[in-house]
Amino acid sequence: MDRKFVVAGLAYAMIGMMLGIYMSATKNHGQLVTHAHIMLLGFVVSFMYGLCHRLWLDTRGSWIARLQFYLHQLGSAALFAGLFLLYGGFVEASLIEPVLGIASVTVLVGLALMCALFLGPRSAATHATAATAA
């Protein structure tokens, strides 16, 4: 899971930076909210999840870890697309707000699963094994 999160985070960083460069070049900063969400939720949070998986979690074969990854990625992608459509003026707010709400809750459930993974018994056992080995 660690590599998947880092790769996804780096992909989001590329997309977010391209959007930022586009906004700068056109002097149209209407997508600032979208850009910020892509960089923070897409890049930073995905990258941090990858670090958590790599450094502290042993989630090989864990269906909860896979579910957490896909919920975060699907929710984030839907949120970014919805924000892009909203702030680009492509759709009315009343049409896209339910999508944004569902996407936000999906990302929140992904965070709750990360908390469960990080604070759960498998994580505690990994910490204890690493502490005794050091």
pLDDT of 130? 53
Query: Stretch 7-14: mean pLDDT, rounded?
Result: 98
Backbone φ and ψ of 6, nearest 5°: -65, -45
CA–CA dist 127, 109 (Å, integer): 24
pLDDT of 12? 98
pLDDT tens per residue across span 18-66: 999 999 999 999 999 999 999 999 999 999 999 999 999 988 888 999 9
Average pLDDT of the chain, as a whole number: 91
Beta-carbon-side half-sphere exposure of residue 20 (alpha carbons within 13 Å): 11
Burial class (CB in 10 A: 0-12, 13-18, 19+), 118: middle
pTM for the predicted model, two decimal places: 0.87
CA–CA dist 16, 45 (Å, integer): 13
| Neighbour count for residue 122 (Cβ, 10 Å) | 15
Statement: residue 96 has pLDDT above 90: yes
- Exposure string of 40-51, with b = 16+ CB inside 10 Å and e = fewer, is ebbbebbbebbe
pLDDT of 32? 97
Which residue has tokens 């094994």?
129
